[in-house]
Amino acid sequence: MSDSFAGPGPGEAVEPELQAPDDPSYDPAAPAPLGVEPTPTGNAEVDACLARLGDADHLATDGHIEVYEDVHRGLRDALTALDARPGPPAPTGAPATRSSYDRS
pLDDT tens digit string along 37-55? 889 999 999 999 999 998 8
Cα separation, 17 vs 6, whole angstroms: 16
* Cβ(78)–Cβ(43) below 8 Å: yes
The model's pLDDT over 11-27, given as tens digits with 9 standing for 90+, comes to: 555 455 555 667 777 77
* Cβ(31)–Cβ(60) below 8 Å: yes
For residue 46, the number of C-alpha atoms closer than 13 Å in the C-beta half-sphere is 12
Q: What is the per-residue pLDDT for 45?
A: 93
| pLDDT bucket at 5, cuts 50 / 70 / 90 | very low
DSSP reduced 3-state for 68:
helix
DSSP reduced 3-state for 82:
helix
The model's pLDDT over 57-93, given as tens digits with 9 standing for 90+, comes to: 888 888 889 999 999 999 999 999 888 877 777 777 7
